[in-house]
Amino acid sequence: MFCTKCGSEMPDGTDFCTNCGARMGAASPAAAPAEPASMPAAGMPPVQKKSHKRVVIVGMCVVGVLVAGSAALALTGVLGPLGQGNSSQITVLGSDEGSAEHKDEGSAKEKPAADEDEADEPEQTGSSVKVDLNDQATYAAANLFLSNFTEEQFARDGAGGLASFDAADGLSAEEKRGMTIFVFNHLLENTTNRVERGGDVDGKSYASKVPVDSMKREMNRLFGVTLSDDEMHIDADGGLPDNLATRVTVRDGYLYFNEMHGFAGSPIPAIVSGAEDLGDNTYCLTFEAYVALSYNGISSPLISDVPESVYGLPADQLKSTIGADSTPMMSGTAVVKVTADDGAPSFTLQSINYD
């Protein structure tokens, strides 16, 4: 047994300590552990504090494991429903928190999507103004526009030097002459109220006259060009009698013409069958033209006698309505410039050629 005061070992049954004289086994204030005995050795933390730190450290490790586990779950898709369908969230997580493998996977998932988006975007080509012949209004406008030229057989068989007419390349003197004669006859044939009886100018007789502004407006509408007064002047054809020679002059706001005639024979409306986009709002129209024999009780109707709605009919119905047979009188191609309008597009002729 040991003395509870000094700690000396005593034989069992000893009543008093032979070293300090204290009563063995007696409870006394002195028998309580002294304060120095409760102090730890130098440099060692108290047991209680040591235990507290251990708990905190263990707790922090647990939290760290939980945080790391949550991040891993988010990266592996277990938390995916929150970000499902949102690739940008996945990319951010992979970039900031994930391993190099996750980053590579995130990049690999994103790049194909971006490439696919670029590949799916249509390239902007062709004309901004579209000519869709399946659209009835556009089809009717194209038919009616070209009928202005086929009715008078403009530039057919090289007449007037316009077999390969092309306004876009500039106009020769011969082309200006042919255009002037054509527009005058076109007005005479379709709008006789604008054409008046002529008179004498500078000692020469002219059969008819038309306001020069009407000539210029119609020329601009059909060809997209406007000739000056001097450019429309035509001297008498050499070697022909005065009554047969073509003379044109401008005086006092009128264009004087020494002939009064229009197209001889039945009108020839055009039916457009194709439109090829050449770019820059320019199209090549393929057409056929048929002789119009009758319409609504009118024999050999003029182009202006037939309403635009008829020009919008399918080819077979259009031919039937104007009394044309199945054989075209002429066919060819026409290059036109197209501009947008409130309804159907508008056209101006650039060139026309016949097969």
pLDDT tens digit sequence for 298-324:
998 888 889 999 999 999 999 999 999
- The band of 186, judged by pLDDT with boundaries at 50, 70 and 90, is confident
User: What's the rounded Cα separation, in Å, for the pair 203 and 186?
Assistant: 27
CA distance 56 to 62: 10
Tell me the mean pLDDT in the region 217-228.
93
Q: How confident is the model at residue 53 (pLDDT cuts 50, 70, 90)?
A: very low
Instruction: Give the mean model confidence (pLDDT) for residues 228-254.
Output: 82
On whether the pTM is more than 0.75, the answer is no
The pLDDT confidence band at residue 233, using thresholds 50, 70 and 90, is very high
Higher pLDDT, 339 or 152: 339
pLDDT tier, 262 (very low <50, low <70, confident <90, very high otherwise): low
Task: Give dist(CA 181, CA 348) in Å, integer.
Answer: 18
Which residue has better confidence, 259 or 299? 299
Pick 289 or 49 by higher pLDDT. Answer: 289
The pLDDT, as a whole number, for residue 71 is 42
- pLDDT tens digits, 264-285: 567 899 999 999 999 999 999 9
- Residue-level pLDDT at 193: 63
The whole-number average pLDDT for the span 136-143 is: 97
42 vs 295: which has the higher pLDDT = 295
**353 with 311: CB under 8 angstroms?**
no
pLDDT attached to residue 87: 31
On average, the pLDDT of the chain sits at: 74
- The pLDDT score that the predictor gives to residue 294 is 93
pLDDT at 325: 86
Q: pLDDT tens across 77-126, in order?
A: 333 233 333 333 322 222 333 334 433 444 444 444 545 555 555 454 68
Q: How confident is the model at residue 56 (pLDDT cuts 50, 70, 90)?
A: very low
